[in-house]
Amino acid sequence: MSANPPSALKLFDLSGKVAVVTGGSRGLGRVVATGYAQAGADVVVASRKLDACEAVADGIRKLGCRALPVAYHAGHWEDAERLTDAAYAEFGHVDILVCNAGSAPAYPSITEISEELFDKTIAINLKGAFRLAALVGTRMREAGSGSIIFVSSVGSWSPTPRDLIYGAAKAGLNALTHGLATTLGPQVRVNAVLPGPFRTDITKSWDMEAFERAAVDAYALGRVGEPGEILGACLYLASDASSYTTSVLLNVDGGPRSEVDPSVLAKGAK
Question: What amino acid positions are annotated as catalytic residues?
Answer: 153, 166, 170
Q: How far apart are CA 200 and CA 217, in angstroms?
A: 21
DSSP single-letter state for residue 91: H
Strand intervals (E) in the chain: 18-22, 42-47, 67-71, 96-99, 146-151, 188-195, 249-252
* Spatial CB neighbours of 10, under 8 Å, sequence gap ≥ 6: 240
What phi, psi does 93 have (nearest 5°)? Answer: -160, 160
**Helical ranges in 12-127 per DSSP H:** 27-38, 50-62, 77-91, 115-122
